[in-house]
Amino acid sequence: MKYGKPELHELPVPDIVSLGAYADQLQLEAEARGEVLPPPIRLQIGEPDFRTPEHIRQAAIESITNEVQTYGPAGGWPWLRERLAEKVRQINGYQVDASNIAVSMGGTGGLLSTLLATLNPGDEVLIPDPCWPIYLPQLQIAGAIAVRYPLDPANDWLPDLSRLDEQVTPRTRMLLINTPGNPTGAVFPRTVIAELLEFARRHDLYLLSDECYDQLVFEGEHISPATLLSRQELEEGRFIGIYTFSKAYAMTGWRIGYVVAGTRLIKTLVDVLNANLTNISTPIQRAALAALTGPQDCIEVMRESYRRRRDLVVAQLKAAGRYSYTPHGAFYTLIDVSSRHGEPRGGRQFSLDLIGVSNVTVTPGQGFGAISDEYVRISLAASEQALLLGVQAICRLADR
C-alpha cells in the first residue's frame, strides 16, 4: 500500500482537532443515552471570535462583481504590495518597498514557502520550546531538522539566551523567533531582540521572525528585528518577517499573509509561491487592501476585548493560586496544572479528563513543547462567561 512519506503520514492528529472531536463524541454519546449536555466550552481554538469587518467583506464582493478574475502575479498585485510596504513602514517601523514583499496564503503559507526557499535537507533550525506546533511538520516537509531552544517560564517565557550558543552545529542555518508568541503570549523586549539578532549575525544564520500577532500587544511594544537593521542589512537577506491578516482583522478563513525580506530573497520566494499556488485570488487581495485602507478601529476593539479577557483570566488564576505569569500580547494563556502533591501530571490526560468532568476543551501544553508539558493553553478568543467558567473548571480539576 502506498501512503506517501512515512514521516508525514505518521504525524499525530493535532490536539486541537482530536480534543474537539472527543468533546463532540461525548455529546453524541450523551444524546444516545437520552441525556442533554450543555455545549462544550471551547477554549482550545486560536482564532478570533469576531466577524470580519463589513468593509473588508464588501471589497471582496465588489471585486467578484466588477473585476475579471484572472491569474495574477505570484507575489501579489502591485497595488497591494505597495500598500503593505506603507503598513510596514508605519506600523512595524522599518523601511521597505513593494519589491521587499510577497503575498502568501496566510502567514502559514508564508512560513512554509520561506522554509522551502531557504533550507536544504538536513539543515537545522532553532525553534522555541514551547512553540506553535505547525513549525514541526513544516520543517519536515522542507527536509530540515528542528532543534529546540528553551523559553523560560520563570521569566515571562522569554528565551534563555545563555543556552543558545551550545545548540549551534555546523548544520544550523536558521533561528526562528515568534513574538508576540503562541502559545505563551510573550512579547520580547528590545534588549532580547537585539541579542537574538546579534546571535544570528555571529553564526551567520537566517533570522525568521514570525510576527503574526504584531498588532495584538497589551503592554510594551512589538519590536521587529528589522527595526535594528540598516536598509543595506535588510537587503542582505538575513531577516525574514512573516505577517498575516488573520489575527488583527479576524480574517483567518480568508488565507492571506505576506513575507518581508531583501529583494533577492523575495525573488527566490516568489519562485516557490509561483510553483506552489500561482497566486492569491484577486477578491481576497482586494479585501486585504480594504483592511489596510479602511477604518482601523476594529483592531482596537478586538485588542481591548482580548485585554479585558486576559485580565479576567489572570484575576481568576490569582484567586485560585494558579497564577504564574501575565501574557502581554496575542490571545493565549498557558496555565500551570501541575499537581500540588508532586505527582507528574501530563497536560494531555488532564485535557481529556477536563472534557469528561466539565465539558471544557483546552489544548495540552505538551503539543507545544517539553517545557510546557504540565500546562494547558487556553485561547482568549472566547466570551468572558466561557473563560470564567472554563478557568474555574481548570483550577478545580488541577487542585484535585
Same domain for 348 and 237? Answer: no
Is the model's pLDDT at 346 over the cut of 90? no
What 3-state DSSP class applies to 258? strand
Same domain for 211 and 285? Answer: yes
pLDDT at 8: 84
Same domain for 197 and 216? Answer: yes
pLDDT at 97: 98
Q: How many domains does the chain have?
A: 2
Confidence of residue 41 (pLDDT cuts 50, 70, 90): very high
Same domain for 208 and 272? Answer: yes
- Which domain CATH number covers 360? 3.90.1150.10
Same domain for 381 and 247? Answer: no
What is the per-residue pLDDT across 137-177, written as a single tens digit (0 to 9) for each? Answer: 999 999 999 999 999 999 999 998 988 999 999 999 999 99
Hey, what's the cell of 84? 503593505
Q: Which residue, of 293, 311, 342, is where some domain finishes?
A: 293
Mean pLDDT over each residue of the chain, to the nearest integer: 95
Q: Which domain holds residue 310?
A: 6-51+298-398
Determine, yes or no, domain membership for 58: no
DSSP string computed for 87-128:
HIIIII-----GGGEEEESHHHHHHHHHHHHH--TT-EEEEE
Same domain for 161 and 189? Answer: yes
Determine, yes or no, domain membership for 334: yes
Q: How much of the chain, in percent, has pLDDT values that exceed 90?
A: 85
pLDDT at 114: 98
Confidence of residue 359 (pLDDT cuts 50, 70, 90): very high
Determine, yes or no, domain membership for 260: yes
Hey, what's the cell of 363? 489544548
Confidence of residue 13 (pLDDT cuts 50, 70, 90): confident
Euclidean distance between CA atoms 51 and 253, whole angstroms: 11
Burial of residue 42 (number of CB atoms within 10 Å: 0-12, 13-18, 19+): buried
Phi first, then psi: give them for residue 31, nearest 5 degrees. -60, -40
Same domain for 215 and 358? Answer: no
Paired strand residues for 360 = 41
Euclidean distance between CA atoms 211 and 259, whole angstroms: 10
Euclidean distance between CA atoms 91 and 69, whole angstroms: 31
Burial of residue 143 (number of CB atoms within 10 Å: 0-12, 13-18, 19+): middle
Q: Which residue, of 254, 277, 293, is where some domain finishes?
A: 293
Is the model's pLDDT at 28 over the cut of 90? no
Q: Helices (H) and strands (E) in the chain — how many of each?
A: 13, 13
Determine, yes or no, domain membership for 253: yes
**Mean pLDDT across 43-70:** 96
Determine, yes or no, domain membership for 333: yes
**Mean pLDDT across 354-373:** 94
Same domain for 47 and 92? Answer: no
Is the model's pLDDT at 32 over the cut of 90? no
What is the per-residue pLDDT across 242-297, written as a single tens digit (0 to 9) for each? Answer: 999 999 999 999 999 999 999 999 999 999 999 999 999 999 999 999 999 999 99
Euclidean distance between CA atoms 273 and 180, whole angstroms: 26
Determine, yes or no, domain membership for 61: no
What is the per-residue pLDDT across 176-229, written as a single tens digit (0 to 9) for each? Answer: 999 999 999 999 999 999 999 999 999 999 999 999 999 999 999 999 999 999
What angle, 0 to 180 degrees and rounded to 10, lies between the N-to-C axes of helices 347-358 and 384-398?
120
Q: Which residue, of 249, 269, 293, is where some domain finishes?
A: 293
Hey, what's the cell of 206? 537566517
pLDDT at 343: 77
Confidence of residue 72 (pLDDT cuts 50, 70, 90): very high
Confidence of residue 69 (pLDDT cuts 50, 70, 90): very high
Determine, yes or no, domain membership for 168: yes
Determine, yes or no, domain membership for 63: no
Same domain for 191 and 335? Answer: no
Same domain for 81 and 230? Answer: yes
Euclidean distance between CA atoms 113 and 270, whole angstroms: 9
Phi first, then psi: give them for residue 372, nearest 5 degrees. -100, 25
Q: Write out the H or E segment, with its range, that includes residue 22.
A: helix 15-32
pLDDT at 400: 87
The residue written with cell numbers 472534557 in the block is 355
pTM beyond 0.75 = yes
Euclidean distance between CA atoms 154 and 145, whole angstroms: 27
The residue written with cell numbers 500561482 in the block is 278
**Mean pLDDT across 322-330:** 97
- Which domain CATH number covers 195? 3.40.640.10
Same domain for 252 and 343? Answer: no
Q: Burial code of 173-211, b = ≥16 C-beta within 10 A, e = fewer?
A: bbbbbbbbbbbbbbbbeeebbeebbebbeeeebbbbbbb
Task: Sort residue 125 into left (φ over 0), alpha (ψ -120 to 50) or beta.
Answer: beta
CA 384 → CA 49, 250, 354, distances in Å? Answer: 12, 18, 19
CA atoms within 13 A on the CB side of 136: 18
pLDDT at 155: 95
Same domain for 308 and 287? Answer: no
